[in-house]
Amino acid sequence: MKVLTIIKKEVKEIVVKKAFIIGTLLTPVLMVGMVFLPSLIMGKVAKTNAKIMVIDFTDSVFNQLKTELEGKGKDNKKIKQNMEKDILEKAKKQTDGIEGIITFKLENISTTKDKLPEIEKKLKQEIGSKKIYGYLIIPKNFLKDRKVILKAKNVANIAVIKSINSALRKIATRKLLEKENFPEDKIEELTKSVRISTIKIEKGKEKKSSFIGEYLLAVILVVLIFMVILVYGQTVMRSIVEEKNMRVTEVLLSSVDSFTLFLGKITGIGAAGLIQVVIWAIMFFGGYIYFISFLPMRFKGASVSPMAYIAFAIFFILGYFLYSTLFAIAGAVSNTDQEAQQFLQPIMILLILPYLISFSSIQNPDNAIVVALSFFPFFTPMLMFVRVAFASVPVYQFILSTVLMILTIIGMIFIAAKIFRIGILSYGKKPNLKQIFLWLKER
Amino acid sequence: MEKIIIKDVNKSYGDIKAVNNLSFKIEEGKIYGILGPNGAGKTTTIRMLLNIIPPDSGEILIDNKPFEEKMKERIGYLPEERGLYRKLKVKDTLCFFGELKGMKPNEALKSAEEWVDKIGLSEWFDKKIEELSKGMQQKIQFITSIIHNPDIIIFDEPFSGLDPLNTEILLDIMLEMKKKGSTILFSTHILEHAEKLVDGVTLIKNGKNVLTGSLEEIRNRYSANLYKIEIEEENDDEKIKKFPYIKEINSFGKEFEIEIKKEIEPTKFLKDIVEEGIKINKFERIQPSLKNIYLKLMKEEEK
C-alpha cells in the first residue's frame, strides 16, 4: 500500500509540471514537423480534383465515360488504386507534383454546334476562376476518328490525359465490339484493363513496397525506447540525489523500508514515462489515421507486425526497469548531480551500444552476432525488438530473452536496493567500487 | 512498563566502533534523553532503533517485541539531517508523510489541517514549501513527524538550528504529546533543554554507556557541595581559589560555580569569604545541573 503512496507522489510530481505537459504536446509536433511535413506537402500536391465538363456530340459516350472516370466501373476501383500507387511512385521522384491522384467529376452539357462558341466562352471563364478543371469536346464521329479535344488550364497533367485516354479507348472499343454483336461477357474480357503490380529490386533482392514505412516506424520505436530509458532513468537518478541533498531520505526510511521506497520510486517515475508514451501513441495513431489520406504511399500500410508491437511494449517496460536500477545505484552513491554524471558514463555506453547496433542490424537482423547479443539483457530491449520487427524470431528465443531480462531485473533490484539502502544514508566522501562491493556483503 | 529496551547493542563501521555494548530502557509515557558529544553514537543508536540500519549484535525491543516493519507506523521520527520536498505544497507534504505512516488520505488531511491550524500556518496550507521561511519549514517538519499521533516519538538533535520561538513550540509539542501518552526519546548535546524536559537520561561517549538513570537518581548520585557566587570585583576570585577546601571553580566572569569539600558547612564558606574582604552580590547553594554532571563525567572519561 505504501508503495502506492510513493508511486502516486512521484507520478504527480512529474506529470503536473508545466514542462511535462509542454514537452508531451510539443515533441510529437516537432517529430511530425521534421519527418512528415515534406511528405505532407508532396502528398497534397499529388492530389487533384478534376471537374470536367463534357460536350458530347455523339450523345452516347458521356454516361459510360462518367462511370469509368468517376470510378464506378467494374474493375475500375482496383485499377484506380493501382494507378494511384503508380502515380505516387513517380510523384515521389518528380517533386514538382505534375501528376497525382485524380478525383474526376464529370458533367454533361448538351448543346448544338451553333451555340458552341457561346458556351465555350462561358466555360473558359469558369476555368479562369478555377470552378472547373477543363472541358472535353467529343465530336460526332468520335468512334471513327477517335479524336477528342481537351481544353484546360493545365494540359501538362499526364495523369489526367492518360486516364481520359484509356477510358475513351475502352468505350470506343466496347462500342465497336457491340456493333459486331460480340457477346457481352466476351466484350468484358476483351476490354479488361491490365494491372501491373510493381516489385522493387534492390541489391538483387525483392523488397516489400512499404519497407520505408516499416523502417521508419521501427526506428521511431527504437529511438523511443532509447529516449525514454535515458530521460526517465536520469530522472530516477536525479530524484534520488535530490532527495539525499534535501535530507528527506531518512524521514522516508523511518516510514517505509528501503526496498519499498526504491520500488515505489522507479515504478512511479516509470509510470509517468508510460503516461507520456501512451499520450504520444494516441496522438500518433490519431494523427496517422486522420492524415493517412494525405500520406504518400510509402507511409501507407507502414505497420510492423503485431508481434513487434507486443515486443515493443514488453521490452520498453522491462528495459526501463532494468536500466533504472543502474541509474538508481548511480544516484544512491552520489552526493551531487556532478558526481552522478561520472557514474552515468558506463551506463550510457551500455545504452548507446545496442542503440547503434540496432540500426545496423535492421539491414541484416539474422546476423549471428546480433542474434547472440540480443540475449544480453541490457541489449535485449533494442536488439530483440529490431529482430522481431525485421526477421522472424522463433517464439522460444523471444520468451527466453524475456525471461532472462526478468531474472536480471529481479537480481538487479535486489543489488540496487541494497546499495540504495546504504548509499542513500551516506553523505560526504563518494564511495569507490570496493566500498560499494563491501556494502553488498552487509546484512 | 518498559516501552523500549536496548540491550547489549553493538555496531561498527569498518574499524570504528560506533556503538559499544549499549544498554538502556525507556519507560512508557516518559521523556528520555540520549546525551553525548558529537560522534558519540547517538544517531547510530537512534537509526538502529528505527531499523534504518541493523545492529551487528544485541537486542532492541519495542513493547517487548523485536522490531517489525509495521511498528514504523507507530513511531514518529525527526532526523538530525532534515529536509522537505521544496516543490511540494505544505498540504501535499503533510498528507504524503501521513499516508506513508499508514493513515488514510482523508485522515491525514484532517490531522494536517488541525496541526497547521495549531501552529498558525493555515494560510500557508496551499503554498509550496520553498515559499515558506526557514522557521516555518521547521515547524512543518515537526508536524511531519507527529501527524499520525505516534505512541513513540524519536527526535535526533531536535533543537539544533532552531530559533528561540521555534524551540518553545517544539517543547510545547513534546509536552503535549507526552500528555497524550506518547513515549519520547530525543538526543541532544544542549543540556539545558534536556534538563527542562527529561524524566530519564542516558549519557554516552565513544559508543559506550557512561551514565543511565532517572534525572532524580542521577542528581542524588552526583550531589555535591555546590555554590553559585557573584562577586563585585573581578580579580577577587584569586583569593577564593586559595581556600584549601575548594575542589573546583568554573568561572563565568563575575559569576562562579564552586564545588567545595563535602564536610565544609555553607556558613563556614560564607564566613571565610567575608573575612577575606570580598564583596559579594550573590551567594547560593545549588543542585548540580545535568551539565555539571555531564562535564564532570566527560572529563573523567578523558583521563
Query: What pLDDT, in 10s, does the model give residues B16-54?
Result: 888 989 999 999 999 999 988 888 888 889 989 988 888
Q: What are the φ/ψ torsions at residue A336 (nearest 5 degrees)? A: -135, 165
Residues A88 and A14 in one domain: no
Q: Please, which residues have CB within 8 angstroms of residue A280's CB and are 6 or more apart in sequence? A: A24, A27, A28, A224
Burial of A26 (0-12, 13-18, 19+ CB in 10 A): exposed
Residues in chain B closer than 8 A to A251 (CB atoms):
77-79, 82, 97, 144-145
Residues A106 and A155 in one domain: yes
Which among A236, A228, A230, A227 has a CA at the least distance from the CA of A10? Answer: A236
B79–A255 C-beta distance less than 8 A: no
Would you say A423 and A431 are in contact if contact means Cβ atoms under 8 Å apart? Answer: yes
Residue A109 lies in a domain: yes
Of the partner residues B52, B144, B145, the one whose CB lies closest to the CB of residue A253: B52
Of the partner residues B54, B79, B86, the one whose CB lies closest to the CB of residue A250: B79
Residues A167 and A242 in one domain: no
CA-based nearest residue in chain A for residue B101 = A255
Point out the domain boundary residue: A195, A221, A242: A195
Total tally of structural domains belonging to chain A: 2
**What is residue A156's three-state secondary structure?**
coil
Residue A200 lies in a domain: no
Tally: H helices and E strands in chain B: 10, 14
Residue B139 one-letter amino acid: K
Residue A247 lies in a domain: yes
Range of the domain at A145: 46-195
Does A15 touch chain B if contact means CB atoms closer than 8 Å? no
Q: Given pLDDT bands bounded at 50, 70 and 90, which one contains residue B178?
A: very high
Q: Please, which residues have CB within 8 angstroms of residue A127's CB and are 6 or more apart in sequence? A: A133, A134, A135, A151, A152, A153
CA–CA separation, A254 vs B66, rounded Å? 16
Residues A317 and A436 in one domain: yes
Residue A308 lies in a domain: yes
Residues A57 and A176 in one domain: yes
A252–B99 C-beta distance less than 8 A: no
- Reduced to 3 DSSP states, what percent helix, strand and coil does chain A have, rounded to the nearest 5? 65, 5, 25
Best of B47, B49, B52 to mutate (most A CBs within 10 Å, chain A): B52
Per-residue pLDDT at B239:
79
Residues in chain B closer than 8 A to A253 (CB atoms):
50, 52
Residues in chain B closer than 8 A to A255 (CB atoms):
72-73, 97, 100-101
- Reading across the β-sheet that carries B2-13, which strands appear in turn? B16-27, B2-13, B57-62, B65-66
Residues A215 and A302 in one domain: yes
Residue A157 lies in a domain: yes
Residues A13 and A108 in one domain: no
Residues A28 and A61 in one domain: no
Residues in chain B closer than 8 A to A259 (CB atoms):
none
Residue A427 lies in a domain: yes
CATH number of the domain enclosing A164: 3.40.190.10
Interface ipTM above 0.85: no
Residue A172 lies in a domain: yes
Q: What is the pLDDT along chain A (443 residues), one digit of tens a residue?
A: 788 999 998 998 888 888 888 888 888 778 767 666 665 555 554 566 778 888 888 878 888 888 877 764 444 555 555 555 555 554 444 433 334 467 788 888 877 778 888 888 888 888 888 888 888 888 888 888 888 888 887 776 777 788 888 888 888 888 888 888 888 788 878 777 776 665 655 555 565 545 566 677 778 888 888 988 999 999 999 998 888 888 888 888 888 888 888 899 999 999 999 998 888 888 877 776 776 665 555 455 555 567 778 888 899 899 999 999 999 988 888 888 888 888 888 899 999 999 888 888 877 778 888 889 989 999 998 888 888 887 778 889 999 999 999 999 999 988 888 887 777 766 556 677 777 777 777 65
Point out the domain boundary residue: A195, A228, A259: A195
Residues A215 and A343 in one domain: yes
Residues A392 and A423 in one domain: yes
Residue A285 lies in a domain: yes
Residues A190 and A222 in one domain: no
